[in-house]
């Protein structure tokens, strides 16, 4: 992972044991913004560390048939096994899967009963409210997280979206792409938490911004471990850092990996739990923890 650089505007005054370079602060920023209307239970930061690394896990079930879970029970068993180990899941289902897959409602409901959260995964802003309304009708209250997001659409995002009387409010952007298809150079792979300014200045923090952006890194297990080791050595002294591992729903392996299956993931969880500053949280819970800790903006580039 490349060297950390800071572009934060409006850093708070930290405790004497943390040294973070300050930057000019614009006036009038919100004191706090809650990513959800209902309170979230966020694991407390350990007293032995000045930085807490919140690790989330995500699956994106695209509209393309070849990305759908191959076996409903195997998929749900995978979620249960990893949830029992402590992983917190943030799952996104695209509109084509939600409307066409025979097992979509069962998967949404049973995974939500396990504690998984369902984010709003859409490749077109026109689908945001419809996706949220489907999830809500199935009893899985959608989070305020937008995933599958094209950065050029940022300026056009509305404060809220409605579909057949149901209203959904975007509050968090997970990742972001500059071009569709997950081609080289398209995906944002930074580890970051801040409030974007605009489509053209998406990597510039605006403390007055309404939306929180969480960059989940490369989503690979090895890079998560490297980040944790750096934090243990005193690097990246920010109160809250978030990282997201990502699993392909059709293979139940870490994205781009043919070998990182459930056993490898469970072993990874055990190793990460050895760090006293690691906590498992959903994407939404990580953003809430960042707000609670004072919104110290940062970006760590791969």
More confident residue, 8 or 266: 266
| pLDDT score of 147 more than 60 | yes
| pLDDT score of 83 more than 90 | yes
Q: Which of 286, 299, 296 is nearest to 45 (CA)?
A: 286
| Residues 201/227, Cβ–Cβ less than 8 Å | no
Confidence of residue 19 (pLDDT cuts 50, 70, 90): very low
| Residues 145/284, Cβ–Cβ less than 8 Å | yes
Q: What is the mean pLDDT of residues 280-299?
A: 98
Q: What is the mean pLDDT of residues 263-291?
A: 98
Q: What is the mean pLDDT of residues 175-200?
A: 86
Q: What is the mean pLDDT of residues 23-50?
A: 40
| pLDDT score of 61 more than 50 | yes
pLDDT of residue 237: 94
Q: Domain 53-300, what architecture? A: Alpha-Beta Barrel (3.20)
| Residues 238/51, Cβ–Cβ less than 8 Å | yes
| pLDDT score of 37 more than 80 | no
More confident residue, 32 or 172: 172
pLDDT of residue 7: 36
Q: What is the mean pLDDT of residues 71-76?
A: 98
Integer Cα distance of 204 and 83 in angstroms: 35
Integer Cα distance of 108 and 88 in angstroms: 15
Integer Cα distance of 192 and 200 in angstroms: 17
Q: What is the mean pLDDT of residues 187-214?
A: 96
Lowest mean pLDDT among 1-10, 137-146, 283-292: 1-10
C-alpha distances in Å from residue 42, one per residue of 48, 107, 282, 283, 292: 17, 25, 9, 11, 10
| pLDDT score of 9 more than 50 | no
pLDDT of residue 180: 73
pLDDT of residue 32: 38
More confident residue, 37 or 153: 153
Q: Integer distance in angstroms from the first to the last C-alpha of the chain?
A: 5
Q: What is the mean pLDDT of residues 207-223?
A: 97
Q: Which of 28, 15, 24 is nearest to 208 (CA)?
A: 28
| pLDDT score of 216 more than 60 | yes
The rounded percent of the chain whose pLDDT value lies above 90 is: 77
Lowest mean pLDDT among 18-27, 140-149, 270-279, 283-292: 18-27
Integer Cα distance of 170 and 143 in angstroms: 8
Confidence of residue 243 (pLDDT cuts 50, 70, 90): very high
Confidence of residue 302 (pLDDT cuts 50, 70, 90): low
Confidence of residue 182 (pLDDT cuts 50, 70, 90): low
More confident residue, 301 or 209: 209
pLDDT of residue 167: 97
Confidence of residue 36 (pLDDT cuts 50, 70, 90): very low
| pLDDT score of 181 more than 70 | no
Query: pTM of this prediction?
Result: 0.84
């Amino acid at each position: 992972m490349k060297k950390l650089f800071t572009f934060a505007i409006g850093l708070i005054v930290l405790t004497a044991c943390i040294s973070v370079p300050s930057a000019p602060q614009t006036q009038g920023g919100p004191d706090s913004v809650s990513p959800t209307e209902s309170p979230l239970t966020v694991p407390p930061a350990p007293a032995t560390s000045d930085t807490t690394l919140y690790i989330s896990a995500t699956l994106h079930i695209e509209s393309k048939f070849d990305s759908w879970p191959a076996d409903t029970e195997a998929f749900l068993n995978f979620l249960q096994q990893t949830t029992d180990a402590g992983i917190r899941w943030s799952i996104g289902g695209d509109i084509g899967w939600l409307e066409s897959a025979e097992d979509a409602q069962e998967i949404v409901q049973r995974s939500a009963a396990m504690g998984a959260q369902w984010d709003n995964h859409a490749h077109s802003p026109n689908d945001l409210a419809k996706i949220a309304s489907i999830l809500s009708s199935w009893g899985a209250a959608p989070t305020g997280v937008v995933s599958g997001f094209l950065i050029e659409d940022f300026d056009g995002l509305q404060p809220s979206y409605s579909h057949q009387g149901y209203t959904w409010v975007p509050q968090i952007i997970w990742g972001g792409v500059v071009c569709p298809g997950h081609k080289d150079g398209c995906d944002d792979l930074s580890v970051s938490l801040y409030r974007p300014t605009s489509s053209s200045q998406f990597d510039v923090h605006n403390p007055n911004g309404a939306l929180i952006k969480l960059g989940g890194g490369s989503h690979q297990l090895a890079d998560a471990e490297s980040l944790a080791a750096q934090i243990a050595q005193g690097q990246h002294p920010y109160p809250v850092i978030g990282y997201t591992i990502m699993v392909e729903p059709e293979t139940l392996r870490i994205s781009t990996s043919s070998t990182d299956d459930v056993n490898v993931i469970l072993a990874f969880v055990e190793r990460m739990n050895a760090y006293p500053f690691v906590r498992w949280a959903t994407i939404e819970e990580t953003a809430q923890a960042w707000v609670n800790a004072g919104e110290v903006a940062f970006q760590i580039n791969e």
